[in-house]
Structure 1
Amino acid sequence: MFDDMDEIVQDYDDRIRDARESSGLSQEDLAKDLNEKASLIRKLERGDMLPSDRVQKKLEKKLEISLTAGSAGADDEEWSGGSSTGGTTLGDVVKRKD
């Protein structure tokens, strides 16, 4: 049953914010268009909560984005190592004492 479910991408908060800003919408405008509260949009964009399936579908349709893993193509690259931001990580600096 759960094998068929799509997983929310790690950067869902950035995707929502970027798409909203590209559309020229404020958080309040987007919330109104989706018939949701602006506080929900703020929480989603901060990454404080995951969108429900219902809200996810509304966001994907309104903003013309995808929030599920495997649909953007580059999601697996984030997990293959290194930093998704391109900067130095703690793992690049720390030396283990085995």
Structure 2
Amino acid sequence: MFDEMQELAGDYDERIRKARENTGLSQEELASELNEKASLVRKLERGDILPSDDVRKKLEKKLGVSLLEATDGDEEWESGSSEGGLTLGDMVKRKD
């Protein structure tokens, strides 16, 4: 169940703005078509707030974009040591 988790893309705000501009809609027109407030669209495009699942789905459907990124859940927890990176022990010499 958690092997393929989906999370909001880091550039969701830019994706929304670019897709809206490509469709030729103003923020107010997009908000009206989504049955949402224009202030919500403005805040989303500035990255001030995250969209709820409901709003995200409406945006994706209307604008034809995906606001999600697929992750495997392990990439945040990988250590650099498997890549041959230095550790603190490699840099420090003990005085005995």
Normalised TM-score (structure 2) = 0.69
Runs of at least 5 residues in structure 2 that lack an aligned partner in the other structure: 76-91
**Alignment CA distance shift 1:5-1:37 (3 Å):** farther
Alpha-carbon separation, structure 2, partners of 1:40 and 1:29: 12
Q: Please name the residue that 1:32 is paired with.
A: 32
Q: Which deviations, in whole Å up to 9, do the C-alpha atoms of 1:44-80 show, x marking residues without a partner?
A: 0000000000000000000000000039xxxx9xxxx
Q: Please name the residue that 1:58 is paired with.
A: 58
Contact 2:5 2:70 in 1 (8 A): no
CA drift at 1:6 = 1.6
Higher strand fraction (1 or 2): 2
Which of the pair has the greater relative contact order for Cα pairs under 8 Å at 6+ separation? Answer: 2
Q: Which deviations, in whole Å up to 9, do the C-alpha atoms of 1:4-60 show, x marking residues without a partner?
A: 652000000000000000000000000000000000000000000000000000000
Residue 69 of structure 1 aligns to a residue in which SS?
strand
Q: Please name the residue that 1:42 is paired with.
A: 42
Normalised TM-score (structure 1) = 0.68
Q: Which runs of 4+ in 1 moved over 2 A?
A: none
Alpha-carbon separation, structure 1, partners of 2:59 and 2:11: 14
Letter in 1 for 2:31: A
Identity of aligned residues (%): 65
Runs of at least 5 residues in structure 1 that lack an aligned partner in the other structure: 77-97
Alpha-carbon separation, structure 2, partners of 1:54 and 1:35: 12
Number of residue pairs aligned between Structure 1 and Structure 2: 72
Question: Which has the larger Rg?
Answer: 2
